[in-house]
Amino acid sequence: MFLLGNSSFCLAPQELSIDVSHAPEPRVTQKIDINGRTNGEQRVYTDSSQRGDQVSAAIFVERGHQLNLSLILENTDSSTLGEIRAARVALERIRCWPSYRYQHIVLRTDHLNIVQLLKRGPPFKCYYKKDMEHLYNAAESFPKGVTFERVYGHNGNVGNEEADSMARSVLKLPFRSRSRPPGMYPEISKRVRINPAKDWAERFYSTDS
């Protein structure tokens, strides 16, 4: 397990090593943030960025939300792997969040390959096979499942723009302006829903990932 503040996020260190020394602990101010969910859904945006050999991950729900996080990933050699691990960290963070009330999770990423790979399902045939397996297993552990949605990057989607800015900021990269005008493409290009596994409860409450 690795520690984030005083909260235990159940990830085996040999599977995912993260520098979280600067990361804030999520704090509970109310039981459910209404603006962070829609129709019983908890929505979260993730992104990754790279500068040289450093790769970052960012998690964004809404401004000022307890789940927001940007951090530098260790042992991560590309932004593609960073995108996969950002999604996994987001799910683990929600799972260990005291205010999570078993809503369906909607995770939005601008990385098309992640959604396409998840749609095909295991066994994964890709370079980052093990990390994709971990992400899929994490999604299966949620009581109402997880929907992964691919949004167009830099197309005016506020959540995606915020996550991108956070991922770049932690690497001290300049803010990247939108490459396309808002609304040029549909908000969601692809989605896939991962339903809970039969043993989801055992996985969800386990302290080992």
- Residue 56, token pair as written in the block: 């970052």
* Least confident window among 22-31, 81-90, 124-133, 143-152: 22-31
17 pLDDT tier (thresholds 50, 70, 90): very low
Q: Cβ(145)–Cβ(91) under 8 Å?
A: no
Of 12-16, 38-42, 103-107, 117-121, the poorest mean pLDDT is in 12-16
CB atoms within 10 A of CB 154: 17
pLDDT of 35 strictly over 90:
no
Predicted pLDDT at 15: 37
Mean pLDDT across 181-205: 84
Taking the alpha carbons at both ends of the chain, their separation in whole angstroms is: 8
How far is Cα 146 from Cα 1, in angstroms, rounded to an integer?
A: 23
Residue recorded with tokens 């095909």: 120
The per-residue DSSP string of 126-163 comes to: STTHHHHHHHHHHHHTSTT-EEEEEE-TTSS-HHHHHH
CATH superfamily ID and name for 2-20+36-204: Ribonuclease H-like superfamily/Ribonuclease H (3.30.420.10)
Which pLDDT tens digit goes with each residue over 108-158? 999 999 999 999 999 999 999 999 999 999 999 999 999 999 998 877 788
Give pLDDT, residue 21.
38
pLDDT at residue 152 in the model: 86
* For residue 92, pLDDT beyond 80: yes
Average pLDDT over residues 97-113: 94
Quote the strand ranges of the chain, DSSP E.
2-4, 7-9, 18-19, 37-38, 41-51, 54-60, 69-73, 104-109, 146-151, 188-194
- For residues 179-195, give the mean pLDDT: 76
The pTM (predicted TM-score) of the whole model is: 0.80
Peptide bond into 13 cis (omega under 30): no
Residue bearing the bigger pLDDT, 14 or 158: 158
Domain ranges of the chain: 2-20+36-204
